Chains A and B, each alone.
Chain A
């Protein structure tokens, strides 16, 4: 019995070490599948999420650059007259996904980070170019992180419609950003397709 228990605990140790807990997500997003094998960057990235109803969330993934992240909130506070207090701006640094219009940002940041999950966030408005607030988020984040090579991650639900996806892209394109990384779930290349043959023979992979 003892060797058996030893193995069991070995497995246990493996799972404890290998497990990485999912960070809490504001909405459930089922991403499409792709044959891409590239790993996601975890830092220095801007993440825009959209659920199937078109609710948009903005997250700045930059745990090691708190000052720059703080600068986003400070800048928005001045340009949009949000009337944020110093404590609220400090709270922004720890805040995860943001899915409120600018008018609701003060209320969101006045809530302690742990309780923000209970709030029902309506999403950042992007429906037309005049009220596209995602554009300002992207613009201020880019200027706050000037000098850093940022990745632009886009995570959208399967069920979202193409025009909604297009509007997200437009918010970036208006900021002169043209290279994106779409978050997908991995799948294998179909057998005997050109990509599959190339991967098996170890040929150069097309960009």
Chain B
């Protein structure tokens, strides 16, 4: 049963904001770093962060529909 408390909505807002920022930062860093291993790590983590944002927004979508 999709149900969100006020606290959870606030938590989602906080986490989504931070994760979006993280994804953006990783995207910038990915283009700046010289070390190949670090660049790959940044790329992977940027993708993970984007995926995380989409998943968390999905919870808000469900909450709205409910």
To the question of whether A and B form a pair in one complex, the answer is no
